[in-house]
Amino acid sequence: QQGRPPGTEADRRVQQYVQDRMEEAGLQPAFGSSYVQSFAVTDGVRPTGESSLASKGKAIAHALVPFSTSTAAPVEAPLVFVGRGIAPEGKGSGDYAGLGAKVEGKIVVALGGAPPDDPHISPAVTRPQSKLIAARDHGAVGFVLWEPDQAVAYPNHGEANDLTLPAVWVGEEGTPALLAAFGRKAKADQEAEAVAALEPGRRSRGSFQLHTPLEPVTLQTANVSGLLPGVEGGPVIVVGAHMDHLGQGTSSSLAPGVHAVHNGADDNASGSALVAELALAMTAGPAPRRTVVFAHFSGEELGLLGSRDLASRLDAVPPFAGRRVVAMLNVDMVGRLRERLTVSGVGSSPGWMALLDAAGPHGMRVLYDRALTLRSDHAPFYERGIPALFFFTELHGDYHAPGDEVVGILPEGLLQVAELVADVTRRAADGHPLPFSAPRTPAEGLVPALPGGDPATIVKVVGPDGRPEG
């Protein structure tokens, strides 16, 4: 399905497929008479005029990026090269060390990606948006993302983040002119050496005009949800997974320069398949006490847009209006069980750990974490005081890259995770008390990090037999 990008024909086919599976399972439509809840998303930008990166009438070939801001008038300033333009998480200035006033009021030029001699650097600081934010925070008035060896423009897809700085992408075609702006000339086969020889802080010979008149592109997508009525009618459990992915790569792709379908088998076809199979299993069994809504979200990769849209309307849309959502179970990337499964959010209710202990690890090594990452679809529900759990088999080298294919899915592990999620869902749906608990410390609430990284918030790790490990 071409990577399941929201707002496309492929997205509509996925929505229909999910609805067909819900009807097959015998679920009722969650939104009155419909399984579908539409909402708008932004996907990239389009020009409203002619963009430019030029000096004294000499233009540098460039392309727009979806995280730029629109400029009614050109920004004019010298260019300053900042190497990779990376500002580290936490303390330190990174590539901006010692640059100070050299950057303030200038148009920053940063190379894309990570330095080749630091393979372990966090993707969080090498993403283009992070580099633009670093430039902005150091006083730049414009930003150029430079990928000298890339012939194809940076993908103009993804959430159109207005990061209050005009920005463009320059690739292979514009590299000779950009080198010349910094006083360097090189033959085609020597350009890589010339770029590598540029020292951070180097300034262009003259000022450049950067102009990015643009507007976001708005598309329609939808969440698809079905419900299994509970015998008590009132309280609701939500079991959710996002069904979208990155299409042919967006600003969230971790394969810069690779323009290919990102199928997202683990992220998050694995979670969507689990939720669909869980619906089949639960409709075939005895009716739960509490109503269960099986939600397939769109727009997660654009900023949790589908789950945020649904969570914002809980008081107004069926089946939630007049009912209390007592828990949200989120399943995201559960197809590559290797070392362990992480179950996070156990601090969001004093009832979670007892329920999870009763369910057991189902033959897996499981880490239980009090905190929740803000990077997946449980977050909008948790923000509204709803206890939430996040099931996750952790990152891998194919995350947000074209290599996330079906061949990498580990079926036996996915089945084990599915059995645990089913067990937890049934226990929650059958009335296990789950009052909400606010975090005792900020570290135990919503945090940027993924689960399992902070020893202070880990409750315990158990082995496949359920016994605690060291």
- 329 has which bridge partners? 239, 389
Looking at residue 35, what is its pLDDT?
97
CA dist 121 and 294 (Å) reads 37
Is pLDDT above 70 for 166? yes
Domain boundaries, the chain: 9-43+218-462, 50-212
Looking at residue 68, what is its pLDDT?
74
In Å, what is the CA distance from 71 to each residue of 49, 50, 59, 170, 251?
10, 11, 18, 18, 21
Q: Which one-letter amino acid corresponds to residue 101?
A: A
Is pLDDT above 80 for 298? yes
Is the bond preceding 468 in cis, omega lying within 30 degrees of 0? no
- Both tokens of 186, joined, read 């090189």
Contact 378, 450 (CB under 8 A): no
Is pLDDT above 70 for 91? no
The DSSP bridge pattern shows strands 341-344 and 366-369 to be: parallel
Contact 418, 277 (CB under 8 A): yes
CA nearest to 226, candidates 34, 426, 431, 11: 34
CA dist 12 and 198 (Å) reads 47
Which band of pLDDT confidence, cut at 50, 70 and 90, is reported for residue 157?
Answer: low
- Both tokens of 85, joined, read 């333009």
State the average pLDDT over residues 29-58: 91
Average pLDDT, the chain: 91
Query: Residues 404-440: pLDDT tens digits?
Result: 899 999 999 999 999 999 999 999 999 999 999 999 9
Whether the CA torsion 422, 423, 428, 431 is positive or negative: it is: positive
Looking at residue 256, what is its pLDDT?
62
Q: Which one-letter amino acid corresponds to residue 136?
A: R
Which band of pLDDT confidence, cut at 50, 70 and 90, is reported for residue 316?
Answer: confident
State the average pLDDT over residues 238-242: 98
Looking at residue 31, what is its pLDDT?
92
Looking at residue 226, what is its pLDDT?
97
Query: Residues 244-275: pLDDT tens digits?
Result: 887 767 667 777 666 788 888 999 999 999 99
CA dist 266 and 400 (Å) reads 10
Query: Residues 358-381: pLDDT tens digits?
Result: 999 999 999 999 999 999 999 999
Is pLDDT above 60 for 90? no
Let me know if the fold of 9-43+218-462 is the same as that of 50-212. no
CA dist 223 and 221 (Å) reads 7
- Both tokens of 418, joined, read 């599915």
Looking at residue 106, what is its pLDDT?
97
Which value, in Å, is the radius of gyration of the alpha carbons in the chain?
24
Residue predicted with more confidence, 410 or 69: 410
CA dist 392 and 4 (Å) reads 21
Is pLDDT above 60 for 297? yes
Query: Residues 135-151: pLDDT tens digits?
Result: 999 999 999 999 999 88
Classified as helix, coil or strand, 412 is: helix
- 9-43+218-462 falls under which CATH superfamily? Zn peptidases (3.40.630.10)
Tokens 């009722």, located at residue: 28
CA dist 147 and 379 (Å) reads 34
Q: Which one-letter amino acid corresponds to residue 228?
A: L
Looking at residue 43, what is its pLDDT?
78
Is pLDDT above 70 for 159? no
Looking at residue 66, what is its pLDDT?
77
Tokens 């708008």, located at residue: 40
State the average pLDDT over residues 304-332: 91
Which band of pLDDT confidence, cut at 50, 70 and 90, is reported for residue 182?
Answer: very high
Looking at residue 286, what is its pLDDT?
95
Domain 50-212 - what CATH class?
Answer: alpha beta
Looking at residue 318, what is its pLDDT?
80
Is pLDDT above 80 for 79? yes
State the average pLDDT over residues 342-368: 98
Query: Residues 387-400: pLDDT tens digits?
Result: 999 999 999 998 88
CA nearest to 66, candidates 51, 45, 84: 45
Looking at residue 161, what is its pLDDT?
64
Looking at residue 120, what is its pLDDT?
72
Q: Give the percent of the chain with pLDDT over 90.
A: 69
Query: Residues 199-226: pLDDT tens digits?
Result: 999 999 999 999 999 888 889 999 999 9
Classified as helix, coil or strand, 455 is: helix
